[in-house]
Amino acid sequence: MLTLSDGSKVIVSGAQVAGGLIAVRYPTTGRVSVAASAGDYVYPSDVRMNAQGNLLYVKAPGIAAGIWQETWLFEYDLRTERLVTRQQVVDDALPAECPEPRLVIEPKSFVSR
């Protein structure tokens, strides 16, 4: 569970698997939003939060359509519950992925496809 700057809480969940996505649950309203969904064979691999701006960043690299290498960067506003940016980027231009901790906040996906 993450705490936003206004004191409200969110639960971030996801999986680094085919068709994987990052979802955000808002416990006070029960609302669930998809923060990042890059598509088949492009998996979310790194999730970071800018606590001051209540922004969630998701890196998703992979082999799109099983053919070409792609890396996507998502910026999601946790307070307004909306995707701000989804942009294809050069993988080497991003900082190294966080090695630890890799927390499992919620073991099962709660977003229906």
Whether this model's pTM surpasses 0.95: no
- Sheet with 68-77, strands from edge to edge, namely 46-50, 55-64, 68-77, 82-88
Tens digits of pLDDT across the chain (113 residues): 899 999 999 999 998 887 789 999 999 999 999 999 988 888 899 999 997 889 999 999 998 877 889 999 999 999 999 999 999 999 888 888 876 655 444 434 444 33
Contact between 70 and 61 (Cβ < 8 Å): yes
Contact between 14 and 22 (Cβ < 8 Å): yes
